[in-house]
Structure 1
Amino acid sequence: MAEPGMLLRKGRYRARLAAAAADVAAAQDLRALCFQTAAADCDAFDAACAHMLVEDLASGALVCCCRLLLLEGGAELERSYSAQFYGLPGLQGFQGRMAEMGRFCIHPDWTDPDILRIAWGAMAVFVDGHGVRMLFGCSSFAGTSPDRYLDAFALLKHRHLAPVCWRPRVKAPEVFRFAARLRRKPDAKKAMRHMPPLLRTYLMMGGWVSDHAVVDAGMNTLHVFTGLETGAIPDARKRLLRAVAGGE
């Protein structure tokens, strides 16, 4: 019999949904470690979300986590964490179930690239199981200065901006309007080297971003709104995700 909340097992890891308050507390502690907050990282959104945990099978160590908020469609976007920072009138007309992925983090002591693959494989199981048509969230760059990321932002401007009809509007008090300000031609290799791994994966699957980054001093990050229509993921990428999602 499958374990309750189990998404997948593969190699040395398993991915599952939190089943108890202690699971959520462990995720909050990992988030605090990764985002360098003084206490457990928690807010009012946690209670409304499902929490995905990736654990090492041998030790039980929590190596990765994120939270997922299911919405029935764009009309519910104001319930999302992202709506605090971005104006989303275009996306409010989106028809179909959506899921906001937030607080994604990998334990800094665990550098195995399989962890990210397992997390995305588990995400594929979740998305398929709930009929999600759009995955979205805030993708973060460490720190609040854009200087080291200018090639990355230039690449986002030239290749990965959201469709105009869905493009998020400025709402936060402090933003970096990279699409309007940057005139440079991006160095693609340098850009990808400085692109956060989560955002890089979104982009490889056909994801798109807002035309500005929010300066979030509280989290010491810059973040861009990121969207991914699940139906637009290239077939080759879908096969790779579902191969991982197939488990052992």
Structure 2
Amino acid sequence: MALLLGKGRYRARLAQDEQDLRAAQRLRTLAFATDQTDSDAFDPICTHVLVEDTRSDGRLVCCFRMFTMENGAEVGRSYSAQFYDLSALEDFQGRMIEMGRFCIHPDWTDPDILRVAWGAMTAYVDQNNIEMLFGCSSFAGTETDKYLDAFAMLKHRHLAPKRWLPRVKAPDVFRFAARLRRRPDSKKAMLRMPPLLRTYLMMGGWVSDHAVVDRHMNTLHVFTGLEIGAIPPERKRLLRAVAG
């Protein structure tokens, strides 16, 4: 077992075989409420992380996958590149990981699961000299109205630096940075912000200026990036305390 982290009742490890991969796909299918098994051509080329509950006979409660790239020249091979023009990131010189298909079992609501997942990611990032994380952060459903405060907050506080800003590629997008004029209600915004995206933002992450309307997955998603060197020192200390 390639154990990344064990904290309390949860352990995070790397998937070892097809059985592990199928377990992750089953959890994704359940969490994303899809009609067919959630699998795609990226699964075989990714590293999969499984978070298990040791008090429930090792029940799989969270999973995500990672696609490692040596530098930005490979970013066009990523899952996200299907939806976003990422040519601005091609000049990034450090190693990168695309984090995707993150999900938590709908019957488990313990916040420690997310902490252990991020601790495992931190351990992997440190072990492999990763300099940027990125991926698609999803809002449930494809209607924008209930997320307007969240999108307004993203516009006012969290847009990508111009040098890395993804451009529009998908045919159906919500250009929230151009369209929204409202000032965000911070409380409403944070209530509607997906937990994974909220964690990225707390670490200094940034997003695209538009959301992709993904009707296949029944989500709205924004491209999300996080430069490891930009994470605030106190936040890094906390993450590494969990990872350690």
TM-score (norm 2): 0.99
Q: Which residue does 1:144 correspond to in 2?
A: 142
Q: Which residue does 2:19 correspond to in 1?
A: 22
Identity %: 73
CA offsets, 1:66-120, max 9 Å, x none?
Answer: 0000000000011100000000111000001000000000000000000000000
Q: Which residue does 1:63 correspond to in 2?
A: 61
Aligned residues: 243
Q: Which residue does 2:123 correspond to in 1?
A: 125
Q: Which residue does 1:97 correspond to in 2?
A: 95
Q: Which residue does 1:204 correspond to in 2?
A: 202
Partner Cα separation in structure 2 for residue 231 and residue 12 of structure 1:
31
In structure 2, what residue type is equivalent to 1:214? Answer: V
TM-score (norm 1): 0.97
Partner Cα separation in structure 2 for residue 200 and residue 28 of structure 1:
24
Deviating above 6 A after TM superposition, structure 1's stretches of 4 or more consecutive aligned residues are none
Cα RMSD for the two superposed structures: 0.5
Partner Cα separation in structure 1 for residue 153 and residue 2 of structure 2:
38
CA offsets, 1:131-160, max 9 Å, x none?
Answer: 100000000000001110000000000000
1:41 partnered with 2:38: yes
Task: Give 5+ residue unaligned stretches, structure 2.
Answer: none
Partner Cα separation in structure 1 for residue 11 and residue 99 of structure 2:
19
Q: Which residue does 2:175 correspond to in 1?
A: 177
Task: Give 5+ residue unaligned stretches, structure 1.
Answer: none
Shift of 1:39: 2.2
Q: Which residue does 1:110 correspond to in 2?
A: 108
Secondary structure of the structure 2 residue equivalent to 1:203: helix
